[in-house]
Structure formats: structure tokens, C-alpha cells
Chain A
Amino acid sequence: MILKAKDIVKYFMDPEKHQVLNQISLAVSDGELISIYGESGSGKSTLLYILATLDMDFEGDLMIKGQNVKEMSSTALSDFRNEQIGFVYQFHHLLPEFSVLQNVLLPAMKRNIKSMEQLREEALILLDEMGMKAFAERPSYKLSGGQQQRVAIARALINDPALILADEPTGNLDSKNSEMVFELLQEITNNRNKAVVVATHNSKIYANSDRSLEMIDGIIRLS
């Protein structure tokens, strides 16, 4: 079991106190692709940020890789995120000042356990698998949306984390690119044996996941 969330409760305080997540419990094992489906405002992104340890202001327990993340200091949490969690955004979010290769390398350079040559080699292999090797030295802002998302997935994988979280990864892509991204996520789940949690509107992802959860008003409904 990679991830175990129990009775997660989350309130928004602004503009008034409002419960976003109501006693959410969730367990994810490796090699499993879970999709969370729901309307905007249903709380699926909020849940994802909590699972990603980005939002620590919640009630309930969250264990990732057997560690209670609530007990970690913010620096320890940064390190933990760096090693164990890969995050893919809707708007791909590459750093425009850096090349494609440098973007992929940023998490690994932070971790700093391998030599630069080795990291470059690994990053190039990942980019190759994403079909982006030819663009390695390009400035990241010169890529199309679909290309950027593939680079973002490579960046999420570079530190070989246990858990991949994706927030509407196809939300901003055309159907062809959406399909390609979903195939990559499936490949990551099956071949790399990662636990993948995707928050999505995309019915194809919803229909083809190992497990699909529907979220309505902060409550998960199994379908």
C-alpha cells in the first residue's frame, strides 16, 4: 500500500466556512491507476493537493509509504515530496527560463544523489520514452501544449517516485494529445508499477482506469 488516507476533512474558510471534503478515505497500491471524476468544485483537486502534501491544513490521517506526513516538518516534507511524489498539472507548468532537459532535471538536481552525467542520461532516456528527446535542448516555452505535458510527465518521473498525482492532465489538451498523455499514465502504472491518481473530467480516463471514483460535494462514491 503506497497511500492510505483516512477520514480526510477539509474546510475552506474563505469567503465563509464551508466543508469541501467530508470524511474521505482512500487506499492506493502500486501498479494501480485511480481516477477521480467530478464536477468543478466537487473537491477532487483539493483532495489531490492534500494527497500531494501541498495542502497540510486538513483533518484526518494521511500515510504515504508508511509515513505519517502530518508529523513531518515543512523541510522534511519538501524532501519527501521531492523523493516520493511526482505531480502533473493541468497547465503543464514548465519553467520558461530553462531548457526542456533542465526542466526534467530540476527535481533530480534538488535530490542530488547522482552525478550530473548520470542524471542527464536518465533524463534523456525518459524524454526519449515520452517522444521528446529531440527537443531536449529547446527552451521549454517553445513547445506545444501536448509536448509540454509530456515533458512535465518526464519531470514527475525523474526521481522515480512511488506516487504520481495528476490534476486534470488532459484538461488543456486536444483529444489526440489527451489520448497520448493517458497512454503514458497507463504505461507508468503498468510498466513502472507506480501508483497513479488522476483527477479528471475526461470520460475516457474515467472509463479506462483500474478504479474510478466519483466525487460529489466532497464525498466519494464508488462506481
Chain B
Amino acid sequence: MSKHVFNKTNLFIALQYLTARKKQSLLAVIGVLLGVTTFIVLINFMTGVNDFLDDAVFNGSPDITINAQSSPEQKSRQFQATNISNEKRVAIDELLKKHSNVAAFANQVISPAILTSDTKQFPGSLNGIFPKQEKKMVNLERRLIKGKGFQSLSQKNNILIGISLAKRLAIDVGDSLKIILPNGKQETLKVSGIFSFGITTIDNVRTYMSANTLQTLLNKETITDIHIKLKEREDITVKTFLANTVSGISIGDWKENNKTIVIGNKVRDILTWSISFALLLVAGFGIYNILNNTVIQKRKDIAVLKTIGYSSRDVIFIFLVQAIIIGLLGAILGAFFGYGISYLISITSLDTSDFIIVDTYPINFKPSYYLLGVAFGILTTILSGYFPSKKASIVDPVTIIRGL
């Protein structure tokens, strides 16, 4: 006598039922397949977009920014950046060096400017940086399209500009670019590199130049901004710590500086999960329906199986294993289909929008999503197969035989 319900005989009976009703079984498999495929494609695509935006925006900009708080009288002169005094800078430096969640920080001199090429003129933002510090903040090598990165800024008249800005100004590496500062000073710089963060709002205005050169032009010895990269981005306690310790500064964090993107990511996450869940639920209902009908139609057979010695547990297994086979097949095929469709999307070229600059749709092929999709699919089928199986197991043979 077989001690376990998992045995060849029960498996044989389950398979016989599945193959005897090929059409229904196939439909159930397709149901799960569609659920899992859509889940995987959606999550691959949505997280791909999220990751792309995260990478472009948050890696291109600091997690925490510190500016001097502007006094009312300074506010009236819009174009003049407020300064962080040297004393304050040194104090903040000391605090940041000691803080455990600070990965790196850098001082910047930021000023708006009019950028002028031979033919065109656009407003832009000059980021005066100290190359050694800034290297730890932004991985510009990865973003570089042409020319050289931060190291070229050790030469005082070099400037790096964003790709969209370069296109609009119609200039290239090696060309000269004239900057006009709010105080009226002008300087001609040489473009030593062109970068792209993939986000037009950055690539349209951002430039990098030597902080020392900019300080000279602005007649300043101080800086305007301190940028901080965090080790754990979600933990922004350093912000409150600084606000409580140092007065006269305003501090911004990545969440409030990029509200739209943070909200966009959230919305995409909610959409992904709710749609996937709904789809799997529908697939689950399909399986439930099919197995439930099978149980109703097969009540006589179940009664016979019980009369010839099959226990309630055998009957549960016989029906549940059908659900599991449907689930496994659907989920595994769904993972392959999901990969295939995601791959096709990932090589589909994308018309550059105003907001994002990217060649093809961003897709995240993280294996854990595939595992999750398969696990989800199988779980749904087992859950939806359990109730009809349970129903089959409590079929009373006497009632059935008598009812005929």
C-alpha cells in the first residue's frame, strides 16, 4: 500500500485527466502563461524605467545639497548666488567627515550664466567644481560622450557641457564658448568634453568648469553649495543633524528636489503590482473554474475511486497535482515568453522625448523578478486548485451512487 499520496498511481490518474481534456488544460495553461508573461514584462519595463531615471537623476545629482540661506536683501538680486562663509564651510566639513552615512561630499561654486557660441546664446548653469572632490560625487566617465572628464578642468579655461546644450549652441569639443556672468564679467572657455545624463533638464543647462576660475571671475573666495552623496540614500538623518547644528544654511534632499520623479516611480510601482496582481487573479479564477467544473462533472468517477480504495487525501492530490502541473507549465512558459517580449522591447528604438534621452526602452532583466513571477504563478494555481480539490475529496460516494 502506498504510504504517501505522492505516488506514481495518483500522478498517473492526474495526468490521464489532464490529457483527456487537452483543450481545457491548454486554456488553463495559457491563462497562467499570460498572467506570468504580463507580470514579467510589466515589471521588467517599469523597474527598467525607474532604474534608468534613478541612475540618470540621482547619480547625476547629489543626495543632499547645502546652500547659504539668502537674506531678504540678497533675494531681491536674483542672479547673485549666496555664499557659504569659509568658517561655516570648515565647520560643516568637519561634521560631514565624522558622519557615518556620508559617502562623499564636494564644494561647488554655482552661478547662472549666459552661454554664447558663435551663432547662438542660451542661459545655463555654471558648476564650478574641484575635480578631485567631484570625481567621488559623479561618475562622469560613464556619462562622457566626447572629450575628457573632470581631470581636464585642472586647466583653468576648460568647460564640460551637456549634450543638449552643445547641440543647441552648435558647438563641439575643442570649440570655444563665451560665458557672461551676472556681474557682467565675460570669459571665453574651451569645450573639453561633452556629457549626457539622459535627462534633458540636466543636459540642457549643466556645465562643469574649474571652481577656481569661476571664483576669480566672481571675485569670491567662498563657495555657494556643498553637495553630499550618502551611503544609504533612504536615510537622510544627516539633514536634520546639520540643520540642528549649523545655522544660516538651507538644506535640500533628493526626495524633495525630485518630487515628480519619486512620485512617478511610486505610481509605476503601484501600477505594476496592481495590474500584475489582477492578471494573476484572473488566471487563478480561470483555473478555479476549470477544476471546479471538472470536479462537478467527475463526481461519479471520484465516487468510484473512493469505493475502490482511494482515500480523500489521494483524491485531493489527484486534483491538486493537475493544478500544479498547469501552474508549473504556465509559469515556466510565461517566464520564457516574458523574457522574449522584454528582450524585444529592450531592442526597440525609442524616439527621444523632450524629457529623456535614451536609444531604446530601458528594461531591467533582474532574475529575481522571473523567480517572483514563476513563484506567483504557481502559488495562484495552487490556491485556486486547492478549493476544487478539497471539494472533490469530500464527495460522498453513497450520495453519488444513490443519486443515479
Interface residues of A (CB under 8 A from B): 45, 49, 52, 54-55, 74-75, 78-83, 87, 89-91, 93-98, 102, 106-107, 109-113, 155, 159, 167
Contacts and interface: CB of A to CB of B under 8 A. Distances in A.
A43 B7 CA distance: 38
Contact of B307 (A52, A74, A102): A52
Interface of B: 1-2, 7-9, 12-13, 16-17, 20, 300-301, 303-314, 397-398, 401-402, 404
B12 A95 contact: no
A75 B313 contact: yes
B392 to A, nearest CB: 14
The 7 A-B residue pairs with the shortest CB-CB distance in the complex, in nearest-first order: A82-B309, A78-B311, A97-B20, A109-B9, A107-B308, A81-B309, A93-B304
Contacts of B397: 54
Given A54-B398, A75-B313, A111-B1, A87 B308 contact: yes
Contact of B309 (A98, A111, A113): A111
Contacts of A93: 300-301, 303-304, 401
Contacts of A167: 401
B299 to A, nearest CB: 11
14 contacts: A54-B401, A55-B398, A78-B309, A81-B309, A82-B1, A82-B309, A90-B404, A91-B404, A93-B303, A93-B304, A97-B301, A106-B9, A107-B309, A110-B9
A92 to B, nearest CB: 10
B305 A106 contact: yes
- Give the residue among B9, B397, B398 with the most A Cβ atoms within 10 A: B398
A83 B309 contact: yes
Given A97-B16, A109-B9, A112-B7, A79 B307 contact: no
Given A98-B16, A113-B1, A106 B307 contact: no
Contacts of B300: 93
B17 A97 contact: yes
Contact of A155 (B9, B20, B308, B313): B308
A78 B306 CA distance: 7
Contacts of A49: 398, 401-402
Contact of B1 (A94, A95, A96, A112): A112
Given A109-B12, A110-B9, A75 B304 contact: no
A93 B398 CA distance: 13
A153 B308 CA distance: 12
B313 to A, nearest CB: 7
Nearest to B303: A93
Nearest to B311: A78
A82 B308 contact: yes
A81 B308 CA distance: 6
> Most A CB atoms within 10 A — which of B9, B311, B313, B404?
B311
A110 B310 contact: yes
A75 B308 CA distance: 12
B311 A112 contact: no
A87 B307 contact: yes
Nearest to A84: B309
Contacts of B311: 74-75, 78-79
Contacts of A45: 402
Given A93-B300, A167-B401, A110 B20 contact: no
Contacts of B7: 112
With most chain B CB atoms within 10 A of its CB, the pick from A91, A102, A110 is: A110
B310 A78 contact: yes
A110 B304 contact: no
Given A75-B313, A97-B16, A111-B1, A89 B308 contact: no
A94 B16 CA distance: 14
With a 10 A CB-CB cut-off, give which of A75, A78, A112 has the most chain B CB atoms: A78
A120 B16 CA distance: 18
Contacts of A96: 20, 301
Contacts of B12: 109
A95 B318 CA distance: 14
Contact of A106 (B1, B17, B308, B312): B308
Contact of A112 (B9, B20, B301, B313): B9
Contacts of B1: 79, 82-83, 110-113
A89 B401 contact: yes
A223 B401 CA distance: 28
Contacts of B402: 45, 49
Contacts of A78: 306, 309-312, 314
